[in-house]
A and B are shown apart, each in its own frame.
Chain A
């Protein structure tokens, strides 16, 4: 027995080795796992930021209808009321990501997945959706209809 708080020198040596080996093992695991985890995370793809799209001619859009429009990588629903007023909302249901549609019979925006309903102002009025649909701006220039992000 020696001093050193009753520990044998061998024991401190063993502790030292344990820390070194354990540490090396952790470091090794890190160097193996880090590239794998990074690999699994999909890289951000350069996507052209879309701020507005041209939908087409106003005369081609029926009254009391909803049309799905490609807005970058996301769908947008363009509503035209019976009186001819145009409004546009994100067509992605705020509930679980399905794509909504306009139901003439209800006069509402409807999601088929879980029966969520929004009124023509995009407000969630029935079913599970937690929030209203994001609104987009509709611009009419002469005969052409454009949709753009609300700034």
Chain B
């Protein structure tokens, strides 16, 4: 270390004991096994989140969150502002990749049963962040105030309104009134750039702190492997460098997507135009959207919609609560039921997404 750097280091070290931290990080290791590749998806998600924060702040420099100006401000951003199109395209693409990588991350944790004791809190914070990510997607989708966004928001908030008793007040709270109007845009803008990022940052802090504190989750097979045969890799620098290389690849992928498949702006929202043919929600809502199409209008005494929504709500809740009902994995035993359930859910989502996409 250069003498000046050394001096600065010593100055800080004297006050906050950096040596301890460095020793701690030196002992951090990553288990090496045939499923190690999945460890990278958490890191990639983190990287994409950072991209979203940066591009999001850049978009804020020009975006105007009002019914009369939102669409026009994005139009201006994309046609007049230097690289405005690029920043917006990256923000949109990174948002989608973020959902994809967090989904992969979540399912890999699910199939490895890494949510088992002692990592229940990591799982819970992760699931909450995944729901928030969808909230980010849903609220951000409205901000350009275009036709597709307008109807997506109408449908999405109306779905919330279907929930018995609490639904209607929630819908009015989200819309800022009975209808989707400029008031809705203001609220979604607030959620998207202030409320959600704040909550997300706290959850992310806990999530990352726990990974540091508890170390990387080991596969269940490690428990039957003698300590000497457990292959590991130091986090610093071996795993970190691999992580960074992957981040670089993802950044390139993002640039390619943003340049060759720039995000469309579409037509400005018009409250008195019909919903355009072929309207679809974002791909990560498609499987639910497609399922709702198959539920008949009336199911016994329930509205079909209420039934579908409550079913998805309950399923999501049970999924999130898995560390508390999968007692077998907690004891270190194999739980085939959970694996098959996970496979069923993965195939269900994939098949219904494809049907929704192509129909």
Which A residues have a C-beta under 8 Å from some C-beta of B? 40-42, 45, 68-70, 73, 75, 91, 93, 95-101, 111-115, 124, 127-130
A70 to B270, CA, bound (A): 11
User: Are the CB atoms of A113 and B179 closer together than 8 Å?
Assistant: no
A residues within 8 A CB of B278? 112
Interface size class of B (residues with CB under 8 A): 20 to 34
A130 to B279, CA, bound (A): 20
User: Are the CB atoms of B305 and A128 closer together than 8 Å?
Assistant: yes
User: Are the CB atoms of A91 and B274 closer together than 8 Å?
Assistant: yes
Query: What are 23 A-B contacts with C-beta separation under 8 Å?
Result: A41-B169, A41-B172, A68-B274, A95-B297, A96-B154, A96-B155, A96-B159, A97-B158, A98-B154, A99-B273, A99-B274, A101-B275, A112-B276, A112-B277, A112-B278, A113-B151, A113-B155, A113-B275, A115-B293, A128-B293, A130-B297, A130-B298, A130-B303
Asked, given contacts A112-B279, A128-B293, A128-B297, whether A68 binds B172 with beta carbons under 8 Å apart, the answer is no
Asked, given contacts A95-B305, A113-B155, whether A128 binds B296 with beta carbons under 8 Å apart, the answer is yes
Q: Which residue on B lies nearest to A131, using beta carbons?
A: B297
User: Are the CB atoms of A73 and B275 closer together than 8 Å?
Assistant: no
B residues within 8 A CB of A101? 274-275
A115 to B297, CA, bound (A): 12
Q: Does B324 touch A at the CB level, under 8 Å?
A: no
User: Are the CB atoms of A42 and B172 closer together than 8 Å?
Assistant: yes
Q: Which residue on A lies nearest to B308, using beta carbons?
A: A128
User: Are the CB atoms of B275 and A128 closer together than 8 Å?
Assistant: no
Which B residues have a C-beta under 8 Å from some C-beta of A? 151, 154-155, 158-159, 162, 169, 172-173, 176-177, 179, 183, 271-279, 289, 292-293, 295-298, 303-305
Q: Which residue on A lies nearest to B271, using beta carbons?
A: A75
CB distance from A110 to the nearest CB of B (A): 8
Q: Which residue on B lies nearest to A103, using beta carbons?
A: B277
Asked, given contacts A98-B154, A99-B273, whether A42 binds B305 with beta carbons under 8 Å apart, the answer is no
User: Are the CB atoms of A114 and B293 closer together than 8 Å?
Assistant: yes
Asked, given contacts A95-B305, A128-B295, whether A73 binds B172 with beta carbons under 8 Å apart, the answer is no
User: Are the CB atoms of A98 and B273 closer together than 8 Å?
Assistant: no
A residues within 8 A CB of B271? 73, 75
User: Are the CB atoms of A112 and B274 closer together than 8 Å?
Assistant: yes
A39 to B296, CA, bound (A): 38
B residues within 8 A CB of A128? 292-293, 295-297, 304-305
A91, A101, A114, A129: residue with the most chain B Cβ atoms closer than 10 Å: A114
Top 3 A-B residue pairs of the complex, sorted by shortest distance between their CB atoms: A101-B274, A97-B158, A112-B275
A98 to B227, CA, bound (A): 61
A residues within 8 A CB of B158? 96-97
